[in-house]
Amino acid sequence: YTDGKPTQGGFASSMVVDQKFVVKIPEGMDPEQAAPLLCAGVTVYSPLSHFGLKQSGLRGGILGLGGVGHMGVKIAKAMGHHVTVISSSDKKREEALDHLGADEYLVSSDATKMQEKADTLDYIIDTVPVFHPLEPYLSLLKLDGKLILMGVINTPLQFLTPMVMLGRKTITGSFVGSITEIGEMLEFCKEKGLTSMIEVIKMDYVNKAIERLEKNDVRYRFVVDVAGSKLDQ
């Protein structure tokens, strides 16, 4: 706020903002679909665009299949990439392959399969928000491959320098995106018919939704229908 105290977030049916921070929602795009794209959608689109990874034919990995990861699969596939989902268990194999359209599913604890896929990926989008070793994933990258960090982790990550040096690999990061990229991403998603997997809720369910978020019990985004909640009545 203007007195220096932090805002705590909230919900409103309307708000006043500087026009520099406004983007146009493409005609025909449902508002409940636009909302998660403004976060998870551009978070994935931005590094693919910035690092020159938009051309078709690339082989990419999506590490972690959550809110950002599932949009990573959809956007990368729409760009014409061969997409491998990398996860710590087999639990999301069916969802990744059958529902999201990934080409392959790789369990990171399967040493044999990980070895077979060494030096095969042009990039990996790493969405894991907790401490994890980087070496297993660096080994999957081709020459000049990029490991793009997106998980917010408050402990230092470690890697052996030869893992980067011997393949001239890059460890980099990206966080959300610019207003320009948000506009491009919305038009891209409209053109390709991309949607996020969401659960629309009313305001009277918000507290329960927060509880479910803490338990990681949402696939993959809650969207609050403020107008439909009829708060002014």
Above 90 in pLDDT, residue 181? yes
Range of weakest confidence among 7-11, 51-55, 142-146: 7-11
* Alpha-carbon span 212 to 207, nearest angstrom: 9
One domain, residues 170 and 228? no
pLDDT exceeds cutoff 90 at 14 = no
Q: What is the pLDDT of residue 227?
A: 83
* Percentage of residues of the chain with pLDDT beyond 90: 87
Q: Is the residue at 43 inside a domain?
A: yes
Mean pLDDT of 111-123: 97
Average pLDDT, the chain: 94
Domain range enclosing 186: 31-194
The pLDDT assigned to 11 comes to: 78
At residue 205, does pLDDT exceed 90? yes
The answer to whether residue 210 is domain-embedded is yes
Considering the domain architecture, whether residues 124 and 144 belong to the same structural domain is answered as yes
Q: Find residue 221's DSSP bridge partners.
A: 198
Q: Which of 115-119, 143-147, 154-158, 181-185 has the lowest mean pLDDT?
A: 154-158
**pLDDT at residue 109, rounded to an integer:** 94
Asked if the structure places residue 163 within a domain, the reply is: yes
Looking at the domain assignment, is residue 74 inside a domain? yes
Identify the pLDDT of residue 233. 64
Residues 155 and 47 reside in one and the same domain: yes
Instruction: Give the integer Cα–Cα distance in Å for 59 and 84.
Output: 8
Between strands 198-201 and 221-224, the pairing is parallel
**Same domain for 141 and 128?**
yes
Residue 15: band (very low, low, confident or very high) from pLDDT cuts 50, 70, 90: confident
Q: Is residue 12 part of a domain?
A: no
Residues 135 and 209 grouped into a single domain: no
10, pLDDT greater than 80: no
Q: Based on the domain organization, do 148 and 132 belong to the same domain? A: yes
Asked whether 180 and 156 are in contact (CB, 8 A), the reply is no
> Is 2 inside a domain boundary?
no
Q: Is the pLDDT of residue 117 over 80?
A: yes
Q: Do both 177 and 209 map to the same domain?
A: no
pLDDT tens readout for residues 122-172: 999 999 999 999 999 999 999 999 999 999 999 999 899 999 999 999 999
| Together in a domain, 115 and 41 | yes
β-strand partners of 183? none
Domain count across the chain: 2
Task: Give the model's confidence band at 9: pLDDT under 50 very low, under 70 low, under 90 confident, else very high.
Answer: confident
Query: Are residues 108 and 81 part of one domain?
Result: yes
φ, ψ at 126 (rounded to 5°):
-100, 105
Are 155 and 167 part of one and the same domain?
yes
* pLDDT for residue 100: 95
Helix (H) or strand (E) holding 221: strand 221-224
Give the whole-angstrom CA distance, residue 83 versus residue 36: 21
